[in-house]
């Protein structure tokens, strides 16, 4: 499969406001694709549509050959929201092992995921006592259990120190090299350069969908921050 996700004519409305205006794009399999854009541009809404929890007005979203949200995708898609989606009154290990049980997996798979996100030394701590960045990593560990074919991450490195951010990005690329498709929402420009493909959204419309180097050449700029500013101003 060349594309893990295909989006055609996607329209999302909230009340009387159109949030996404007929988006068309295809996200390659086994790659790290970033969704970038200013606050309120529609990134989280697009992510919700990809994982099948967003009501859409028109268009289609196909994920791993199935309609987004299809029952067949439940064990194939991992999703990490901006707000940590783990139980505060359980330890990191208890959370991970609970999610592993849901997938019919054992403790070893849960412990592997905890180690992969750098929380091995905090595995016995209650999630409610962790820092915000640690809670985000606990959510990521639970989403990685079962080795999903698609991992959708909404601002996964917010609140992480530079060393942990670098470690997480290394892990993301290891997952992609193993065949996992990753979709990462971010507004941090230095992270954009770590991705294979960038989709820039402004006011619910796609203004760029290319590899980082192509975007820099297209805008005749030397860095991505300047390139995105150029694209956003041009699209205004």
Give phi and psi for 112, each to the nearest 5. Answer: -65, -45
The pLDDT tens digits of the residues spanning 60-102 come to 999 999 999 999 998 899 999 887 789 999 999 999 999 999 9
More confident residue, 235 or 178: 178
**Cα gap 183→76, rounded to integer Å:** 14
Residue 153: exposure state from Cβ atoms within 10 A (0-12, 13-18, ≥19):
buried
Mean pLDDT of the residues in the chain: 91
The pLDDT tens digits of the residues spanning 183-195 come to 999 877 778 889 9
Q: Please give the C-alpha separations between residue 194 and each of 62, 186, 231, in angstroms, as whole numbers.
A: 25, 11, 19
State residue 167's pLDDT score. 84
- pTM, whole model, 2 decimals? 0.90
Q: What is the DSSP letter of 109?
A: H
Token readout for 81 is 């929201």
State residue 155's pLDDT score. 83
More confident residue, 146 or 92: 92
Asked if pLDDT for residue 236 goes beyond 70, the answer is no
The pLDDT tens digits of the residues spanning 32-52 come to 999 998 888 999 999 999 999
Q: In what order do the strands lie in the sheet with 32-36?
A: 77-80, 150-154, 181-186, 32-36, 197-202, 205-210
Asked if pLDDT for residue 1 goes beyond 60, the answer is no
| Res. 151 pLDDT band, cuts 50 70 90 | very high
């Amino acid at each position: 499969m060349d594309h893990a996700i295909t989006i055609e004519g996607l329209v999302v409305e909230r009340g009387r406001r159109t949030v996404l205006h007929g988006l068309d794009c295809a996200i390659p399999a086994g790659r790290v694709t970033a969704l970038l854009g200013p606050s309120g541009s529609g990134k989280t809404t697009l992510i919700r549509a990809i994982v099948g929890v967003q009501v859409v007005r028109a268009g289609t979203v196909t994920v791993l050959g199935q309609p987004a949200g299809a029952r067949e995708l439940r064990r194939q898609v991992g999703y990490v929201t901006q707000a940590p989606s783990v139980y505060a009154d359980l330890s990191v290990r208890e959370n991970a092992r609970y999610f592993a049980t849901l997938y019919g997996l054992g403790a070893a798979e849960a412990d592997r995921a905890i180690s992969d996100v750098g929380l091995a030394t905090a595995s016995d701590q209650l999630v409610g006592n962790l820092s915000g960045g640690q809670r985000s990593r606990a959510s990521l560990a639970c989403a990685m259990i079962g080795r999903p074919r698609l991992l959708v991450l909404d601002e996964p490195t917010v609140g992480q120190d530079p060393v942990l951010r670098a470690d997480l990005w290394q892990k993301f690329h290891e997952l992609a090299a193993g065949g996992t498709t990753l979709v990462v929402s971010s507004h941090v420009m230095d992270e954009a350069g770590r991705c294979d493909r960038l989709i820039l959204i402004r006011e619910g419309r796609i203004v760029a969908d290319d590899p980082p180097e192509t975007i820099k050449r297209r805008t005749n700029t030397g860095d991505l921050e300047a390139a995105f500013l150029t694209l956003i101003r041009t699209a205004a």
